[in-house]
Structure 1
Amino acid sequence: MKRRRPAPNGTVFLVPLRDSGYAIGVLARATGEGHAFGYFFGPRVSKASDVDMAKLLPKNALLVGKFGDLEILRKNWPIAGALKDWAPADWPMLPMARIDEVAGRAWLATYDDSFDCIEETEIDVDTASRHPYDRMMGAGAVEIRLTSLIRSSEES
């Protein structure tokens, strides 16, 4: 069953942090079926008007990956605006790694914009650690991970 997209690609939204304030997300892809791919940023902000859109560049992301879009649809992750001149090529769906730690093996998967795996290659575990993890993060996982990443950046 197809449902509507949570927002257009290039939309900037706020992710509530578990201690206070918000992290910033950029919706790079959404299927309309609950799957999304995004780039997530600090620093911590308290409201949408605190977001500096000019600093939202893929290379500055604290976290990149697939996530469920339900909290955007429910408006629990509020929309802060949209990136001007957003282009999909500038915000690619990056290859993502899976690691089987028991076997000591890893794979790098490439997905198309529909979230279909179009290529998978075995790579070494060390190389895999330099790529986003290939998993679908729930809203809680995104919030907890961003809270930890932003807190760590504030402490250093």
Structure 2
Amino acid sequence: MKRRRPAPNGTVFLVPLRDGGHAIGVLARAPMEGHAFGYFFGPRISKVSDVDLAKLIPENALLVGKFGDLEILCKNWPIVGVLKDWAPADWPMLPMARIDEAAGRAWLATYDDSFDCIEETEIDVDAVSRYPYDRMMGAGAVEIRLTSLIRAAE
């Protein structure tokens, strides 16, 4: 049985924070295989009416990356709406970096919209911090990381 897409690309949803309130997420890619790519935003909000869709632009994201889509499918991360005029080119699947600290080496991977790696190049270890980290975050990891990032910004 094929999995269904959790929501259309451009969907805005809320992510519960571990210490109360919510962060905002934008679903940028969801190829119907249990994973997604999204942009996540602060500041902390307490209700859906606090979401300002006009302020949701990729450059303002606190966190960007791949994540599991189950919490959206199960409605534990409630859907707020869909961005008007959402376009994939405006919300790109960014190159992502990973590091092997023991070997002192790092790589930059580029993925297509189906999450297939289409290019991988070795980069300087010092350049890793300029890119989203190449990993699949579980829901708990997203919630914990956003909680930490928003708390630090408050």
Q: The TM-score by the shorter chain falls in which range?
A: over 0.9
SS in 2 for 1:132: coil
Residue 144 of structure 1 corresponds to 144
1:21 shift after superposition: 0.5
Is residue 2:37 matched to residue 1:32? no
SS in 2 for 1:129: helix
> What is the correspondence of 1:89-100 to structure 2 with a 5 Å cutoff?
89-100=89-100
> Deviation digits for residues 34-56 of structure 1, max 9, x if unmatched?
01000000011111111010100
> What is the correspondence of 1:1-156 to structure 2 with a 5 Å cutoff?
1-154=1-154
**In 2, Cα distance between equivalents of 1:2 and 1:114:** 15
SS in 2 for 1:94: coil
SS in 2 for 1:64: strand
Report the TM-score, using the length of structure 2 for normalisation.
Answer: 0.99
SS in 1 for 2:130: coil
**In 1, Cα distance between equivalents of 2:12 and 2:78:** 9
> Deviation digits for residues 31-88 of structure 1, max 9, x if unmatched?
1110100000001111111101010000000000000000000000000111110000
SS in 2 for 1:7: coil
SS in 2 for 1:149: helix
Report the TM-score, using the length of structure 1 for normalisation.
Answer: 0.97
**In 2, Cα distance between equivalents of 1:99 and 1:86:** 32
Matching residue's letter, 2:21 = G
CA-based RMSD: 0.6
SS in 2 for 1:106: strand
Aligned positions, number: 154
> Deviation digits for residues 9-44 of structure 1, max 9, x if unmatched?
000000000000000000000011101000000011
Q: Percent identity?
A: 88
SS in 2 for 1:3: coil
1:128 shift after superposition: 1.4
SS in 2 for 1:54: helix
